[in-house]
Structure 1
Amino acid sequence: MFQGSLPINMDAKGRMAIPSKYRDPLAAACEGRLIVTASPYERCLMIYPEPQWQVLSKKIAGLNNSHPATRRLQRLVLGNATEVELDSNGRILLPQILRDYASLDKKLVFVGLSDKAELWSEEGWNAQLDAQDDGELPDELLNLSL
C-alpha cells in the first residue's frame, strides 16, 4: 500500500496530513484508522493500518518476555501504540510523547514500506540516507538481486 518517500509538514498542534495518494486506499482498507508507535530500531515512528497492526501486535504480545530485549521491544512498540483516525482533511494528530521520541518538528518525511510507513524528522531521514553501513549483510540479503 505505501511506497516512496514524501516530504510533509506538521503544524504546531502536532497534526500532519497523510499524503493524498494514500487516503482513499486507507479509507477502503481500514476506514482511516491507523496505529502510530515508536520504532525500536531508529528514532522514527511507524504507522500501520489497523488490520496490519492487529496481526503484528498479537505477535509482539505473544513473545516470551523473560529477556530484557524482548521487554524493551514490547514496551516501546506496544506501550507507545496510539490509535489515530484521519480527520475530514486527511490529517492525523501525533501525540507529544511520540513527537518527542522521534524528534519531530515541522519538516517530516513520510516513508512508505509496503504494509506500513515510517515517519522521520527531515534531519533524521537525511542522516539515515547519508549513513554508511559497512557491516555484514544478513543471509536474506545475500541472494537478493536488485
Structure 2
Amino acid sequence: MWGILGAAVEIMFRGVNPINLDAKGRMALPARYRETVKSHCEGRMVVTIDPEDSCLLLYPQPEWDEIQAKIIALSGFNKSVRRIQRLLIGHATDLELDANGRMLLPAPLRDYAELDKKIILLGQGNKFEIWSETLWNSTRDEYLQAENDEEIPAELQALSL
C-alpha cells in the first residue's frame, strides 16, 4: 500500500491476542486489526507453517508475495533451501476475511501447530504468529527463564529499552 507521498506504508501488528477457534476451525481477527487488513490487502492473507517452531505464520498477501518471490529466487540445488521452499511455500494457503472478520485455518495446519479451542495471535510487525495457548505459554516461559549469558547480537545491545 502506498502513502500520499508515494512512500510505502508499513503495517504494524503487535501484541498478544487470546482468541477462541470455533468448531469449524475459524478464528476471528481482533477488531483492532480488521480495518488495517481490509485496507492494506482487501482482507486477503496467507498462512503457512513456521519451520522452526510449532506455530503458524499469518501474512497479509502483499508481504507474503515479497517473501515468496525471494524464496523462489534461491537456488534449489541447496538442500536447506529446498527444505525451506517445500515447507513454507508448500504449506502456504490463501485465506480471506469473511464478513464477520473470520478466517478458516486449514485442518493440516491446525494439526501441525497443535491448535485447539484456545489460541494466541502474536503480532510480529508485518505478520502474526498463531500459537496454541498452551504451547505459547510454555514457550514464553522458556524464553523468560533463559540464561542471561546468551550471546546478544550487537544490534540488540545498541537498543535502549
Q: What TM-score do the two structures reach when normalised by structure 2?
A: 0.86
Between Structure 1 and Structure 2, how many residues are aligned? Answer: 146
In the TM superposition, residue 141 of structure 1 has moved relative to its aligned partner by 2.4
Determine the C-alpha separation between the residues in 2 that align with 1:115 and 1:136.
Answer: 26
In the TM superposition, residue 95 of structure 1 has moved relative to its aligned partner by 0.4
In structure 1, the partner of 2:6 is none
In the TM superposition, residue 4 of structure 1 has moved relative to its aligned partner by 0.4
Aligned pairs for 1:109-128 (under 5 A) are 109-128=120-139
Determine the C-alpha separation between the residues in 1 that align with 2:46 and 2:154.
Answer: 31
Q: What one-letter code is carried by the residue in structure 2 that aligns with 1:128? A: T
In structure 2, the partner of 1:144 is 159
Q: Larger Cα Rg: Structure 1 or Structure 2?
A: 2
Aligned pairs for 1:29-68 (under 5 A) are 29-68=40-79
In the TM superposition, residue 13 of structure 1 has moved relative to its aligned partner by 1.0
> Identity of aligned pairs, percent?
51
Q: What TM-score do the two structures reach when normalised by structure 1?
A: 0.94
Runs of 4+ residues over 6 Å off in structure 1: none
**What is the RMSD computed on CA atoms of the aligned residues?**
1.2
Q: 2:146 aligns with which of 133, 136, 142?
A: 133
Determine the C-alpha separation between the residues in 2 that align with 1:72 and 1:38.
Answer: 13
1:27-47 C-alpha deviation (Å, 9 max, x unpaired): 100000000000122110000
Unaligned 5+ segments in structure 1 are: none
Does the alignment pair 1:70 with 2:81?
A: yes
